[in-house]
């Protein structure tokens, strides 16, 4: 039998006159793998942050997968700059999020902000957002613009506009209020509208390219608490981002931005990529020609090159080439 060690889990219990916070003991297996990085206080609970390399600006992976899912990207960037990946609350070594089972987009952004400042990471940083992490990065940039030096968006979570009959010229236009329904969520080309989303990086043909250590850690983390974005979470996050940035033509100003897209064949997807490129007046698009949604294992070299471009642009005070 595995030896167990104590930890703390916080539950939110409804009572007649409001809500009651109740901290109760829980058990964690002592033979869980050793954390790769440090467990940092995020405001009463701990979040795992894994930093390697040295040199500014620091690269922060703002979301999309576990920390060790970036095993084909992080070592490469470490030779150029400091890079940090993390496990959001309730994932891998990080503690459960206090109060609710599914943290909101605002919760995720506030959590990351707290962790970065507790870790004394020099700002501004480069944010890398993959899949739903693209929404996290955009909301983070809107709420903490002084923390941002540049951004890389990797196959941003895609929300397909409604398929109700419309004039051909408007058939893929987003809703006027910027809010999408749960039924409109899609994260192509590998992930489709399901609750919960059923496919993950471990299902990709190139998962085996990850170092064996990272494959094993991924399997352990999935058995402990699968990290799956839900359509509801993506829809709510998209609405928050739309609200925060609706009055801004170029929310990132002239900060360098690289948008990595795939060859997913959808007018709505192509429209999203065009919208992303308008986030900054210094933006460029890169196509991951041979990748599914799982760019981090299908074409990690494309992500590495994009990050290198943004780092070089910031250090040399030049525009992206």
What is the full DSSP assignment across 150-188? EEEEES---BPPP-S---GGGTTPPPTTS---GGGB-BT
Least confident of 18-27, 72-81, 133-142, 271-280: 18-27
Q: How far apart are CA 207 and CA 191, in angstroms?
A: 15
Q: Give the model's pLDDT for residue 244.
A: 86
pLDDT in tens, 138-148: 999 999 999 99
State the angle between helix axes of 231-245 and 105-118 in degrees (0 to 180), rounded to the nearest 10: 70
Q: How far apart are CA 105 and CA 233, in angstroms?
A: 7
Q: Shortest CA distance to 316 belongs to which of 150, 169, 179?
A: 150
Instruction: Please give the average per-residue pLDDT across 250-276, as a whole number.
Output: 93
270 within domain boundaries: yes
29 within domain boundaries: no
Instruction: Please give the average per-residue pLDDT across 16-39, as a whole number.
Output: 57
Instruction: Please give the average per-residue pLDDT across 94-123, as a whole number.
Output: 90
This prediction has a pTM of 0.80
45 within domain boundaries: yes
Does 123 or 163 have the greater pLDDT score?
Answer: 123
3 state SS of 225? coil
- The alpha carbons of the chain give a radius of gyration, in whole angstroms, of 19
Q: Give the model's pLDDT for residue 86.
A: 95
26 within domain boundaries: no
Q: Shortest CA distance to 304 belongs to which of 132, 135, 87, 53?
A: 53
Q: Give the model's pLDDT for residue 95.
A: 92
DSSP H helical segments within the chain, as ranges?
74-78, 105-118, 132-143, 212-224, 231-245, 267-277, 295-298, 300-316
Q: Shortest CA distance to 45 belongs to which of 91, 106, 105, 104?
A: 91
Q: How far apart are CA 216 and CA 213, in angstroms?
A: 5
Number of domains in the chain: 1
Confidence tier at 30 by pLDDT (50, 70, 90): low
Looking at residue 58, what DSSP letter applies? P
pLDDT in tens, 289-306: 999 999 999 999 999 999
123 within domain boundaries: yes
Confidence tier at 255 by pLDDT (50, 70, 90): very high
Residue 210 belongs to what domain range?
Answer: 39-316
33 within domain boundaries: no
β-partners of residue 154 are 130, 260
Instruction: Please give the average per-residue pLDDT across 17-39, as a whole number.
Output: 58
19 within domain boundaries: no
Mean pLDDT over the full length of the chain? 80
294, 204 contact by CB (below 8 A): yes
CATH number at residue 66: 3.40.50.1820
23 within domain boundaries: no
Does 100 or 126 have the greater pLDDT score?
Answer: 126
Q: Give the model's pLDDT for residue 26.
A: 38
295, 307 contact by CB (below 8 A): no
pLDDT in tens, 179-230: 333 333 333 333 333 333 445 888 899 999 999 999 999 999 998 877 676 7
Q: Shortest CA distance to 304 belongs to which of 89, 67, 136, 71?
A: 71
Q: Are strands 4-15 and 38-41 parallel, antiparallel or unpaired?
A: unpaired
- Structure tokens of 299? 């074409």
């Amino acid at each position: 039998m595995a030896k167990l060690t104590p930890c703390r889990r916080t539950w939110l219990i409804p009572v007649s006159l409001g809500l009651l916070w109740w901290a109760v003991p829980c058990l964690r297996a002592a033979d869980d793998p050793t954390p790769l990085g440090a467990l940092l206080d995020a405001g009463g609970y701990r979040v795992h942050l894994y930093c390697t390399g040295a040199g500014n600006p620091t690269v922060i992976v703002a979301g999309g997968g576990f920390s060790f899912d970036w095993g084909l990207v992080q070592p490469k960037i470490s030779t150029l700059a400091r890079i940090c990946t993390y496990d959001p609350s309730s994932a891998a070594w990080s503690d459960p999020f206090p109060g609710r089972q599914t943290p909101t987009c605002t919760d995720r952004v506030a959590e990351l902000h707290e962790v970065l400042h507790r870790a004394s990471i020099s700002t501004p940083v480069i944010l890398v957002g993959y899949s739903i992490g693209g929404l996290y990065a955009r909301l983070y940039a809107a709420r903490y613009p002084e923390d941002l030096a540049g951004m890389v968006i990797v196959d941003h979570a895609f929300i397909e506009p409604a398929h109700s009959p419309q004039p051909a010229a408007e058939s893929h236009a987003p809703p006027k209020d910027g809010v999408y329904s749960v039924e409109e969520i899609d994260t192509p080309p590998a992930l489709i509208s399901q609750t919960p989303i059923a496919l993950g990086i471990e299902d990709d043909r190139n998962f085996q390219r990850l170092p064996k250590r990272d494959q094993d850690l991924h399997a352990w983390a999935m058995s402990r608490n699968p990290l799956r974005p839900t359509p509801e979470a993506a829809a709510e996050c998209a609405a928050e981002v739309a609200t925060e940035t609706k009055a801004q033509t170029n929310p990132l100003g002239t900060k360098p931005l690289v948008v990595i897209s795939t060859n997913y064949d959808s007018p709505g997807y192509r429209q999203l990529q065009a919208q992303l490129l308008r986030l900054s007046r210094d933006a460029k698009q890169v196509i991951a020609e041979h990748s599914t949604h799982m760019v981090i294992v299908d074409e990690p070299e494309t992500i590495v090159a994009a990050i290198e471009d943004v780092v070089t642009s910031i250090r040399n005070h030049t525009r992206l080439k």
